[in-house]
A and B are shown apart, each in its own frame.
Chain A
Amino acid sequence: MAQSIAATPARVAPRPAASWRVHPFFRHRSALVGAWIVFVVLVVALSADALKTHDPLFLDPVARLTAPGSTHLLGTDNFGRDTYSRVVFGSRVSLGVGVGVSLGTVLFGTLIGLVAGYFRRVDTPLMRVMDGLMAFPGVILAIAIMAAVGPSIWNVILALTVVDTPRLARVVRSVVLTVRQLQYIEAAHAIGVGTRGILVRHIVPNCLAILIVQGTFIFAQAVLGAASLSFLGVGTPPYIPSWGNMLGEARSYLASAPWTMLAPGAALMVAVLGLNLLGDGVRDLLDPRLRRL
């Protein structure tokens, strides 16, 4: 889960007055593709009720493991539940967790990073705690937290937020450490701007680009992480139609009903691909130093 951060070394340079023209984004082909994918997933999630052909929770013992056909577009699973409708509803879980984790991480990560970077006295203790959390491989820490708090969507969000926050906090902190030495901060001090004013008006805006970029990657990682936890059986509770749950169940029916595995997996991969493409594009645009990559 550290890949996004490793790929974007913290960088702060006073940018020349940004001209916020929209069109560079639309010239970035892969970003555009990513944005479209994410948009489509969002539309599917919002209109899941209209798109479904069956109740995603309805058990139909007669129609167990039916192959894809006219009644069941993508077949049924071992309980006779409609795969297509479950995939459609699964997008809600994925996006919900993604939004929750990226918002939570950006919020706590920024807060911790700001405090650690600006108030030197708490820096060392705070960052030691963050180091301790980062000493666990992400998946393992998430599993351990889920073991303690039990399966639920909110707990998945909690676990993944705890995993991602230290890394973001570290990036934000390094931005703060650089910015606070710049002359305009000194100038702001000199004319009597308070600590809160300096943090909110002068330092946070400098973190925005990196927060947006990291937020997108965290979103993608969270969708993947949530599906992994559910696949392992420690994520969303079994009755919730999430892509990870579906894949976990499909594992036992690979030979007899491969469609139960193909559909949710493809949906998951396309969604994550869209988010990653979007993230790459946003990074190229907001972080010109990395554009050549």
Chain B
Amino acid sequence: MGRYLIRRLLAAIPVMLMVATAVFMLLFLAGGDPASVILGPDARPEQVEDLRVKLGLDQPLHVQVYRWYARLLQGDLGQSIFLNRPVTQAIAERAEPTLILTTLALLVALSIGLPMGILSALRRGQWLDTGAMFVAIGGVSMPTFWLGLNLIFVFGVVLAWLPVAGYESLSKGLWDNLRYMIMPAVTLGMAQGALLARLTRSMMLETLSEDYVRTARAKGLAERRVVAAHALRNAMIPLLTIIGLIFAALMGGAVITEQVFNIPGVGRLLIQAVTRRDYPVVQGVVLVVAGLYVLINLVVDVLYGYLDPRLRYGRA
């Protein structure tokens, strides 16, 4: 296990290097001088020159690349152009809503997707299965933001049960926080739950048709145990990878959901930075999110190796 762990850790390094390089190059993707792009056509030449120096664009490229990596290694993501503070600080201030949102949404996705998928597989071809899978493909096709707008309209505007938008910090109390978070979490989690239901169903159908399940039934095990201990346990292994992917989708979807519900999280920070052309913030957020994603994949990989010894010893 130790060697496997080290191998996975080492494999993450080139990926992170690629990510850092890609994010660095983002600034140059626009074409032309980034400083004048950021300031727009009305800026005076001195202002542009100032910003060039501030961003280090006056240095030769290899110095810029070197400084970029050197800074990253110190955990420095640079200064925001508009917010007048370090990018890391700006992200940290906005982290709470986004973390709560994605965690709750993951819970929603799991509590919809797993039971629905398992039940569908067990009642294969019956009305419950057909119905659930119809709902699931609807859920996969439903644009996140449209679901959110509909929820706001029904529960916020017509019934007025929940606040239409905004955010209340967790420090103000759990219930106040949840009131604002229920609709966003359902909005964000629904599509992933639907996807998870479809995949859970197919994984379950696959393991249910395995020989060892037939053996388990033949030796007279109760159906409940056959399903839980033999079919589900084995189906869970590939599903773990899917759950890692779902987390990524949630982080992306959080940007959209925060925009729908006016939640002051990292996603809105990113969108505001894009519209203000605050490139250091854009780069910082993208880098942090990608880093988190690589980390989650690493954890999933390690868990995978723990659950499935074949991977540890195989060539993997």
B-chain residues with CB within 8 Å of residue A251 when the two chains form the complex: 149, 260
Q: List the one stretch of A80-88, A145-153, A197-205 in contact with chain B.
A: A145-153
Contact with A148, one of B29, B143, B253 (Cβ below 8 angstroms): B29
A-chain residues with CB within 8 Å of residue B195 when the two chains form the complex: 3
Contact with B146, one of A140, A141, A247 (Cβ below 8 angstroms): A247
A-chain residues with CB within 8 Å of residue B14 when the two chains form the complex: 128, 131-132
Q: List the one stretch of B19-27, B47-55, B170-178 in contact with chain A.
A: B19-27
Contact with B145, one of A136, A228, A258 (Cβ below 8 angstroms): A228
B-chain residues with CB within 8 Å of residue A145 when the two chains form the complex: 26, 29
* Chain A: minimal CB distance from B7 (Å): 15
Complex Cα distance, B271 from A145, in Å, reads 12
B249 contacts the other chain (Cβ, under 8 Å)?
Answer: yes
B152 contacts the other chain (Cβ, under 8 Å)?
Answer: yes
* Chain A: minimal CB distance from B215 (Å): 21
Q: Check if A7 sits within 8 Å of B271, measured CB to CB.
A: no
Size class of the A contact interface (CB-based, 8 Å) = 35 or more
B-chain residues with CB within 8 Å of residue A265 when the two chains form the complex: 143, 146, 149-150
Q: Check if A231 sits within 8 Å of B252, measured CB to CB.
A: no
Q: Check if B251 sits within 8 Å of A140, measured CB to CB.
A: yes
* Residue on A nearest B275 in the bound complex, by CB: A233
A168 contacts the other chain (Cβ, under 8 Å)?
Answer: no
* Chain B: minimal CB distance from A237 (Å): 13
Q: Check if A140 sits within 8 Å of B252, measured CB to CB.
A: yes
List A248-270 residues whose CB lies under 8 Å from chain B.
Answer: 250-251, 254-255, 258, 261, 265, 268-269
A121 contacts the other chain (Cβ, under 8 Å)?
Answer: no
A-chain residues with CB within 8 Å of residue B289 when the two chains form the complex: 136-137, 140
List A120-149 residues whose CB lies under 8 Å from chain B.
Answer: 128-129, 131-133, 135-141, 143-149
Q: Check if A231 sits within 8 Å of B256, measured CB to CB.
A: yes
Q: Check if B19 sits within 8 Å of A6, measured CB to CB.
A: no
B-chain residues with CB within 8 Å of residue A133 when the two chains form the complex: 18, 22
List B284-316 residues whose CB lies under 8 Å from chain A.
Answer: 285-286, 289-290, 293-294, 297
Q: List the one stretch of B76-84, B107-115, B198-206 in contact with chain A.
A: B198-206
Determine chain A's interface SS by DSSP, over half rule: helix
Complex Cα distance, B257 from A231, in Å, reads 11
B138 contacts the other chain (Cβ, under 8 Å)?
Answer: yes
Contact with A along B144-173 (1 / 0, CB 8 A): 111001101100110000001000000000
B-chain residues with CB within 8 Å of residue A193 when the two chains form the complex: none
Given contacts A7-B198, A148-B29, A276-B140, contact A254 B149 (CB under 8 A): yes
B-chain residues with CB within 8 Å of residue A112 when the two chains form the complex: none
B-chain residues with CB within 8 Å of residue A250 when the two chains form the complex: 149
Q: Check if B274 sits within 8 Å of A254, measured CB to CB.
A: no
Q: Check if A137 sits within 8 Å of B149, measured CB to CB.
A: no
Q: Check if B199 sits within 8 Å of A149, measured CB to CB.
A: no
Complex Cα distance, B307 from A242, in Å, reads 46
Q: Check if A7 sits within 8 Å of B202, measured CB to CB.
A: yes
* Residue on A nearest B273 in the bound complex, by CB: A147
Complex Cα distance, B15 from A290, in Å, reads 32
Complex Cα distance, B141 from A220, in Å, reads 8
Q: Check if A6 sits within 8 Å of B293, measured CB to CB.
A: no
Q: Which residues of B contact A (CB under 8 A)?
A: 14-19, 21-23, 26-27, 29-30, 137-138, 140-146, 149-150, 152-153, 156-157, 164, 195, 198-199, 201-202, 205, 241-242, 245, 248-249, 251-253, 255-256, 259-260, 270-271, 273-275, 277, 279, 282, 285-286, 289-290, 293-294, 297
Q: Can you list 6 A-B contacts (CB < 8 A)?
A: A137-B289, A140-B251, A147-B274, A232-B259, A251-B149, A268-B146
Q: Which 7 pairs from chain A and chain B are nearest by CB?
A: A132-B18, A139-B252, A265-B146, A148-B29, A137-B252, A273-B141, A147-B274
Contacts A3-B199, A148-B26 aside, 13 further interface pairs with beta carbons under 8 A come to A2-B245, A135-B290, A138-B248, A140-B252, A140-B255, A140-B285, A140-B286, A143-B270, A143-B286, A254-B149, A255-B164, A269-B138, A272-B141
